Structure formats: structure tokens, C-alpha cells
Amino acid sequence: MHDETIPEGPAGDLLRALPPGRVLTDPDATGRYAHDHAEWAPYGTPLAVVRARTAEEVRRTVAVCREHGVPVVTRGAGTGLSGGANAVDGCVVLSTEAMTAIKELDPVERLAVVEPGVVNETLRAACAERGLWYPPDPASAPWSTIGGNVATNAGGLCCVKYGVTRDYVLGLEFVTARGDLVRVGRRTAKGVAGYDLTSLLVGSEGTLGVITEVTVRLRPARQPEHTVAGYFSSVVDAGRAVAAVAAAGLTPSALELVDRHCLKAVDEWKRMGLSTEAEVVLLGRTDAPGAAGDLEAEEMRRCFEAGGATYAVRSTDQREADALFEARRLAYPALERLGPVLTEDICVPKAAVPEMLGRIDAIAERHDTLIANIAHAGDGNLHPLLITPPGDEAARRRAQAAFHEIIAEALELGGTVTGEHGVGLLKRDGLSAEVGPEVLDLNRAIKDALDPEHLFNPGKVVAYAAG
């Protein structure tokens, strides 16, 4: 029977197609889903928000949106930093946050099958209970979801040694722009049947399909880590230590840079008793087993000293070492408390880390902008954080100019505009500058082939000429 209380049009069709409680249309409710954490990235007003719980509900949502020509913007936890999940006017935001099942954890095949709304840290904890480990660990691991991690090909603290999300995704289930529910990839250790559509979807930021299930490879639980901490009087000296570690042939299990601004912000927020005696702290870890771990930790300490550390030591206090790494994870939300934070995500060759850090310092001075620094320094992935006073329009303009200059300098040094946060809206011009028109056309051709009506996340990653 026709329900007279349900409106006509796409919102009404969604309400009819989906179970009660799945569709939000009230602006007060939908507004919370309109954007991610990317500062100053534009966003529109969604027509509705769908909080799907099953792959079939995702498929129905896409089918309704396709019928009405309504864009679909997929959203996980909304922790993104590039505007990749920002709504466009009149779209349906399709949230996968309620799809939280860990469907399978196989210790023999060392794989897990999960829904996209599973939080990264939840999966890692479940694996640990079975003596297994899922390595990708972005700083947002306590909040970000596996679906979002796949969408941006997230990295994290461990990726210097163990790789990024793409290295662990074996297979995907997703809904296509035609409204089909399909599977790509495999569960076997090997497999080269056809084009690698799984890897194509990883890092595509919701522009090619809506992921409804992810199969990931796992590793055995690893050895306890040795931690080395070094204090430096400048980011350039810390960068030299990073280059020295690489030149020595070491592959740390983590090598993270945190400056005094970040430590101070975390300590003022969490009262962790962190020292801010140094301008920059470099945190290294090795999980090499037995005597090899001792030797690698000592060699890393010597590299820190060779780079100019004023103090370098192997930690003997596990709680203190863990607190320093926890401070690294908390740096971004701590700095957000001070004012708007525009976050960079450049990656440069390891040998270029000292030079790039020096250029960032010069850019900060040139644009009169406070730039705090955190970094996955071991693989050259730098996250300068540009902080502005609330409501200061002139400071915002200076920060945005500095943001674009940092991108240009990274490209000049042979780097990339994004290591793990994605292109989204903020890095589209940077992507064009990095890959050039011919490769950009190849990206557009892929988008046109898989999503000819530009249903999925329009305007993100690859820009199209007006008209």
C-alpha cells in the first residue's frame, strides 16, 4: 500500500527501499555527515544520509540513486583529511559506519574478512587474540575504519617496514555504478587472473564503487620492540638522522618524528608529563628478534648521534616509550584544540628528508605561519601541520599559500603530493602537477569506464573541465 507520509522523489524511494531508521533527511542530522576533517575543504548539503547495514542495502541505495541521477558520496568514520568524503549539493551520503562485522578470522590462511565499518584498532585487537597481526596502523587507528583505510590506501607507523593498506588487501566486494554487487581479488596466496581490480579500488576514494566487504592478509604476531629516542635542536638535524638510518641499511619497524609544538599540545591536553626540552624528538623502533634487535637498536642510536642528536638513548622503560608513541598518535587532535589545522601529507625520497624539512621551516617563516611537524620519517612521509588562530582570515590565506608551496617543493625534490591521506579535494591541483596531462587523462578514462554517469563521489581526486 502507498504510504501518503513518504514523499515522492529519491528520498521517498530510499525510504521505501530500505528498512526503517536507515534514511536520514532532517538537516540537523544530515549536517553531521556533510564533511570530513579537512580544514577549509568545501562541502555541500546532502539530500539524505543512508546508514546502511548490509551489502544489499548498499546495492538498493545505489540503484535508487542511479535511477534518479543522484550522486553517492561514501563515508566511513569521517576522519579523512583531504575532503574526500565531503558532500556535494543534492547527494546521498552513504555511511558504512554501521557495517561492523568481522565475518572471518582464519589463522591457517592468515586472513580476515571484514565489513567496511570495522574500526582499524578493533580488527587489530581481534587478530592479537588469535596470535595474528594486521600491520597498517594509521595514527587514526582508534577511530578510522577499514573501509576508509582502503579508500585512501592508508599507511601508518609500521609502514616503513611492513607496507601500506594495499599490500594487505586480497579481495573486495563492492557495488558498481550499474548497481551490481561483485567480488574481485582472491583468498589464495597467489593469483594473477585478469587485471588487478582489487588494487585499482584501493586508494580510489569512493570514486569507482562502494566497498561492502574487505578480505585482508594477516601476519603472525611480531616480536617485542626495542625503542630508541633522540633529541634534536632542529628538524633538519632530525632529518639528517633519518637519512643516516637509511644509509646504514636499517629498516626500523617505526621511525617517527614529533616536534616540540606537538608534544606541548598533547601534554597540555592529556597531562602525560612529556618532556619538551628538545625542539624535535625522533622515535625509532626495531622488532628484529634476539641479538639482532639489540644490534639494530644500537646502530640506530649511533645514526641519531651522527645526525646531530643532542641526546640519544635506548629506552629501558616500556611505559615511557609507549607514552611517546601515544603522543605521536594524539598530536593531530591535540593541535586541533589550538585552532584550525591544515594538514599536509607529502612524501619525499628518504635522502631528501633533511632538505624538505628545511624548506618547510623556510616556508613557515616566509608566510608567517606556525607549522608543527609530525612525520612517518622512516619512509619520507611528512605531515606538516599548519595552525592558524580561530577566525583570522589573513592567517588562513597565508596558511593556504604555504600549503601549496609545500606541495610544489615536495614535487621539486622528486616527491608526491600525498602519501596516505588521499587527493580528495585539497590535492587535485597537486595531482595534476605531479602526474601530467597524459596520465591524468588515463585516470579520467578509468573513471569514465567504471562510472560513466559520474555517480560516485563526483569532483573528487580527478577534476574535469567545466561543461
Question: C-alpha cell of 96?
Answer: 558504512
Pairing of strands 48-51, 23-24: antiparallel
pLDDT confidence of residue 207: 98
Q: pLDDT tens per residue, the chain (467 residues)?
A: 345 578 889 999 999 999 999 999 999 999 999 999 999 999 999 999 999 999 999 999 999 999 999 999 999 999 999 999 999 999 999 999 999 999 999 999 999 999 999 999 999 999 999 999 999 999 999 999 999 999 999 999 999 999 999 999 999 999 999 999 999 999 999 999 999 999 999 999 999 999 999 999 999 999 899 999 999 999 999 999 999 999 999 999 999 999 999 999 998 999 888 777 889 999 999 999 999 999 999 999 999 999 999 999 998 888 888 888 998 999 999 999 999 999 999 999 999 999 999 999 999 999 999 999 999 999 999 999 999 999 999 999 999 999 999 999 999 999 999 999 999 999 999 999 999 999 999 999 999 999 999 999 999 999 887 64
Mapping DSSP to helix (H, G, I), strand (E, B) and coil, where does residue 285 land?
Answer: strand
Please report, for residues 19, 59, 157, 253, 443, the alpha-carbon distance to residue 449 in angstroms, rounded to integers and kept in the order given. 32, 19, 35, 40, 10
In contact, 380 and 348? CB cutoff 8 Å? yes
pLDDT recorded at residue 318: 82
> What CA–CA distance (Å, rounded) separates 454 from 216?
28
CA-based torsion, 105, 111, 116, 121: positive or negative:
positive
Task: Indicate the SS3 state at residue 48.
Answer: strand
- How would you classify residue 379: left for phi > 0, otherwise alpha for psi between -120 and 50, otherwise beta? alpha
DSSP state of 105: E
pLDDT of residue 3: 55
Please give the distance of CA 138 from its chain centroid, rounded to a whole number: 6
Q: Which class in CATH covers the domain with range 102-220?
A: alpha beta
Strand partners, 214: 114, 172
Q: Each residue of 50-82: pLDDT tens digit?
A: 999 999 999 999 999 999 999 999 999 999 999
Q: DSSP characters for 360-394?
A: HHHHHHHTT-EEEEEEEGGGTEEEEEEE--TT-HH
- The reported pLDDT for the residue numbered 194 is 96
| pLDDT for residue 410 | 98
pLDDT at 371: 97
pLDDT for 463 equals: 85
Decide yes or no: CATH 3.40.462.10 for domain 226-412: yes
Confidence (pLDDT) at 223: 87
Q: What is the CATH number of domain 10-95?
A: 3.30.43.10
